[in-house]
């Protein structure tokens, strides 16, 4: 009987890529591997520690899986176990590793399948973080949009963030390895998203090379997107280079965190609000209809009402197309946890709600500015084709039952008609 393995993922797209690679490796070994929660002989939980809530959910995942098979073996890896492996052993994990060597989990599952008694005992194997990029993960891409990991680690050491301590220093994947993976993508995949812990820091031979990589990938004829990037990446030359590409999608997720320069300084973010605004202006100079989304942390320790108002007004002035809003989460081991006193939860919640209300209006304003777009159709849902424009507007296109062809995985030009659900109602331009 074939052993069934369920791989559950919490957190970022990098974790998802690594889980998909593990699933692919397990399938090659002959196991029945899936990312759908259900009965399994073995559960692999790829954890997250970016916030206290993420770490709590990572611990809870073991209990969720036990409801399907209380006799299963549990393998735990990722940022939360890198931070504290013991907490997962106490929850019943058989094997705990960290960020490094995730692919080795499949080797231990092999031992388990062969009933090697040495591997039935609890193991805590947190490896030393690598200095070079671990290029042993290759994910099978089966979706319309493919995520390609190009980088790991971070050198920024923002005062609120635990990730550099858990993921290690920045390290980049070799360009030929990336090109090789992209060359093997199925024809149905029409879009590539380059992802990493800090994509901005992608380098070749120690020199910034993200534009070089994008230029090479542009030749494959697939839409190209970047995941979250830093303000320091944006320059006249970089934006001009992007504009010269045939397939780049003008959606920039440019991390802000705060619109107050004094808060940014306490965060160790290395730019002012004015410098960030100049980067946005450069983007809009070359991409007039660009979608510009961002991350914002509310309630950073010591954030005064005046500083929050600066952030609120800055966001309104810039006119982002959408926000990802987070309430500050105190992470033990970070500089902020040692130097600054946390704000009351009530204050953080009130500021979150105010920004969230602004966010809804920003989304509406951005959609209203757009009249047309090219949508990559990813799925069918409740009588609509659903997908995203190049600048990341979620569109719902009524399915015409008279049409013979299924348009899933196709790119269609649309007219954006009005607000609808969490995006816009659109009509195919024939």
Residue 388 token pair: 């995203």
In this structure, the strands spanning 394-398 and 423-428 are parallel
Q: What is the pLDDT of residue 116?
A: 65
Name which CATH class applies to 372-428. Answer: mainly beta
Count of C-beta atoms within a 10 Å radius of residue 212: 15
Q: Could you state, in order of their start, the residue ranges of all structural domains in the chain?
A: 4-125, 145-369, 372-428
Q: 36-66 pLDDT, tens per residue?
A: 999 999 999 999 999 999 999 999 999 999 9
Q: What is the pLDDT of residue 402?
A: 73
Map 297-346 to HEC letters: EECCCCCCHHHHHHHHHHHHHHCCCEEEEEECCCCCCCHHHHHCCCCCHH
Contacts of residue 260, defined as CB under 8 A and 6 or more positions apart, other chains included, come to 273, 303, 307, 308, 310, 311, 314
d(CA 156, CA 198): 9
CB contact at 8 A, 223 and 178: no
Give the CATH superfamily of 4-125: Methylthiotransferase, N-terminal domain (3.40.50.12160)
CA dihedral (143, 27, 127, 59) positive or negative: positive
Q: Is CATH 3.30.1360.120 the classification given to domain 145-369?
A: no
Q: 214-268 pLDDT, tens per residue?
A: 999 999 999 999 999 999 999 999 999 999 999 999 999 999 999 999 999 999 9
Question: In Å, what is the CA distance from 120 to each residue of 43, 74, 94, 218?
Answer: 14, 11, 7, 48
CB contact at 8 A, 54 and 9: no
The pTM of the whole model exceeds 0.85? yes
- In terms of phi and psi (left: phi > 0; alpha: psi -120 to 50; beta: otherwise), the region of 261 is alpha
Q: 23-35 pLDDT, tens per residue?
A: 999 999 999 999 9
Q: What is the pLDDT of residue 126?
A: 86
pLDDT surpassing 70 at residue 118: no
The helix (H) or strand (E) run that includes residue 204 is: strand 203-204
Q: 280-329 pLDDT, tens per residue?
A: 999 999 999 999 999 999 999 999 999 999 999 999 999 999 999 999 99
In this structure, the strands spanning 145-152 and 191-196 are parallel
Q: How many CA atoms lie within 13 A of 257 on its CB side?
A: 24
Q: 129-171 pLDDT, tens per residue?
A: 999 999 988 888 777 889 999 999 999 999 999 999 999 999 9
Q: Tell me the percentage of the chain whose pLDDT exceeds 70.
A: 98
In this structure, the strands spanning 372-381 and 384-388 are antiparallel
């Amino acid at each position: 009987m074939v052993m069934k393995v369920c791989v559950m993922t919490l957190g970022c797209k990098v974790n998802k890529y690594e889980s998909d690679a593990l699933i692919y490796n397990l399938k090659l070994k002959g196991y029945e591997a899936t990312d759908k929660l259900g009965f399994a002989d073995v559960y692999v939980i790829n954890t997250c520690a970016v916030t206290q809530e993420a770490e709590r959910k990572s611990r809870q995942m073991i209990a969720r899986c036990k409801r399907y098979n209380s006799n299963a073996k549990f393998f735990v890896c990722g940022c939360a176990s890198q931070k504290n492996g013991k907490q997962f052993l106490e929850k019943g994990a058989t094997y705990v590793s960290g960020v490094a060597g995730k692919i080795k989990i499949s080797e231990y599952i092999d031992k388990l399948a062969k009933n090697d008694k040495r591997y039935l005992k609890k193991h805590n194997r947190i490896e030393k973080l690598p200095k070079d990029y671990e290029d042993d993960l290759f994910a099978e891409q089966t979706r319309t949009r493919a995520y390609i990991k190009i980088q790991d680690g971070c050198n920024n050491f923002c005062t609120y963030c635990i990730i550099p301590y858990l993921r290690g220093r920045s390290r980049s994947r070799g360009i030929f390895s990336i090109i090789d993976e992209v060359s093997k993508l199925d024809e149905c995949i029409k879009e590539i998203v380059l992802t990493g812990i800090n994509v901005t820091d992608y380098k070749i031979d120690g020199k910034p090379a993200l534009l070089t990589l994008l230029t090479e990938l542009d030749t494959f004829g697939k839409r190209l997107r970047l995941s979250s990037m830093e303000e320091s990446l944006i320059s006249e030359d970089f934006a001009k280079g992007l504009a010269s590409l045939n397939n780049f999608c003008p959606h920039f997720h440019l991390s802000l965190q705060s619109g107050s320069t004094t808060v940014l300084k306490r965060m160790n973010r290395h730019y002012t609000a004015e410098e960030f605004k100049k980067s946005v202006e450069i983007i809009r100079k070359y991409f007039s209809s660009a979608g510009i989304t961002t991350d914002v942390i509310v309630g950073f320790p010591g954030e005064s009402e005046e500083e929050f108002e600066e952030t609120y007004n800055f966001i309104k002035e810039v006119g982002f197309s959408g926000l990802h809003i987070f309430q500050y989460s105190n992470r033990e081991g970070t500089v902020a946890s040692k130097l600054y006193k946390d704000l009351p939860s009530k204050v953080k919640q009130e500021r979150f709600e105010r920004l969230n209300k602004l966010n809804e209006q920003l989304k509406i304003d951005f959609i209203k500015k757009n009249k047309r777009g090219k949508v990559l159709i990813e799925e069918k849902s409740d009588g609509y084709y659903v997908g995203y424009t190049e600048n990341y507007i979620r569109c719902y296109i009524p399915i015409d039952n008279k049409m013979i062809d299924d348009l899933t995985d196709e790119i269609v030009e649309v007219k954006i008609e009005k607000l609808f659900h969490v995006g816009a109602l659109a009509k195919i331009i024939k």
